[in-house]
Amino acid sequence: MAVQGILNLFKPAGPTSMEVVRRVKRLTREAKVGHGGTLDPIAAGVLPIFFGSASRTMEYLIDSTKVYRAEVTLGVTTDTLDSAGAVVARKDPSGVTRDDVERALASFRGAIAQLPPAYSALKHEGQRMYELARAGQETPRKPRQVQVMRLEMTRWEPPLAGLDVECGRGVYIRSLAHDIGEALGCGAHLSALTRLRTGPFRAEDGVTLEALEEAVNKGGWQELLHPADTVLSHLPAAIVLKPMAVAISRGQQAPLAAHKRNTLQHGELCRVYSSDGRFIALVRYDRSAGLWQPVKVFAPEA
């Protein structure tokens, strides 16, 4: 039987996220394995790995907030916006003060427009932009609205600035580092990055590849997995008896939380569990019908 669950993996700096996934596949011998949010090769930190049907909750993790610890080097600009790229410009940053950086950071908090890097996994006419960039092709890029909830300087050792960033989906920390450098007039690039948290998963609780390999050799690696509903813990939950559990698992609408009907919003999501505690499905509220429609079923009931 295929394994289902989520591994809170601590990715080391160096390999790509897909290289890490391939190594996990080789170690566990599981076929259906994916990751919940790419980390660039220079980055370390939380890289959730999804097994089996748990991958169906991946979209809800990708939409969650992330926390990063970044190191920005002032005075040097690269083509990839990080330390993996070629240097394209140098300027003397010696005149930049801590107060200058603090003032610059203020304009990058809240809802901001950010231009994605040319070297990114976004697609243009069916091709990854990093592939086109490596081939020397210019691609049109449009700024995107992203959310930066927290941006603080935690270290100042010129020309290095340490930043803690809490942000929403779609934020490129490389672009943030570059844009801060432009605002300071000296240029900058991202020289190190650690993802400290994504959704409920924290770096301090992460499992290294070495620890995973040791657990595989001992035969108990599945004990490292979190259940699929871990990334849905922010949603309300309902427990149902057998007849309703069977109906929901067959795609039928159900009258959950009828006493709250007037306060529920159309499209609201809810987790559904059987009376013995098994996670059955994710359902969505249909206000016009006053019923809950199954969105994804995880444990069919006979």
Exposed e or buried b per residue across 17-45, where buried means at least 16 C-beta atoms within 10 angstroms of its C-beta: beebbeebbebbebeebbbbbebbebbbb
Catalytic residue among 40, 82, 179, 229: 40
What is the helix (H) or strand (E) element at residue 242, kind and residue range?
helix 242-249
**Rounded-to-integer distance, Cα 62 and Cα 17, Å:** 14
CB 235 within 8 A of CB 268: no
CB 130 within 8 A of CB 121: yes
**Rounded-to-integer distance, Cα 272 and Cα 249, Å:** 10
Task: List, in sequence order, the alpha helices (H) in 81-208.
Answer: 98-106, 129-134, 173-184
Whether 99 is catalytic is: no
Nearest in space to 110 (alpha carbons), one of 28, 168, 162? 168
**Rounded-to-integer distance, Cα 292 and Cα 258, Å:** 10
What is the helix (H) or strand (E) element at residue 62, kind and residue range?
helix 58-62
CB 285 within 8 A of CB 270: yes
Nearest in space to 34 (alpha carbons), one of 68, 3, 67, 6? 6
Catalytic residue numbers? 40
